Amino acid sequence: MGLYHTVGTAYGFEVPADTDIEAINRACFGQEHRPDGVGYIVVGDRDQLLLVTRYTEAKENTVTRLTADMATAEELTAWDAALQAVAARLGLDKHEPPVWLLIHNYR
């Protein structure tokens, strides 16, 4: 339908699209609300579902460089642990390793 359009970057991985959103909310409950907290992004009309941290929306008519130094080793280690903890609470221990994602969401 095209009512919502964003482009951004985040660090995380895809989970099954049919994962219960309320279960994700419960698994994420109690985190500090900061850029490093784990959350989720629904892509399209539930075509894909992502567990992510450090989401940054891209500004219109700008270029964002995706480089290896977007985060420190310490940040990546902390994010990996936080993402894994939420995935484990969801029973999703088997998933791709977290990576930087470029997300174009239009729904």
User: What's the CA gap between 54 and 82, in Å, rounded?
Assistant: 12
Give the pLDDT confidence of 54-77 residue by residue, as tens digits: 999 998 899 988 888 899 999 999
Task: Write the CB contacts of 63 (distance below 8 Å, at least 6 apart in sequence).
Answer: none
Beta bridge partners of residue 42, listed in sequence order = 49
Give the pLDDT confidence of 26-44 residue by residue, as tens digits: 999 887 766 678 999 999 8
Q: What percent of the chain has pLDDT over 90?
A: 67
User: What's the CA gap between 102 and 57, in Å, rounded?
Assistant: 10
Q: Which of 9, 68, 64, 81 is CA-nearest to residue 41? A: 9
Q: Domain limits of the chain? A: 5-106
What's the pTM? 0.89
The confidence score (pLDDT) of residue 67 equals 87
The confidence score (pLDDT) of residue 79 equals 94
| Structure token pair of residue 92 | 């999703």
The confidence score (pLDDT) of residue 1 equals 52
pLDDT band per the 50, 70, 90 thresholds, residue 2: low
Mean pLDDT of the chain: 90
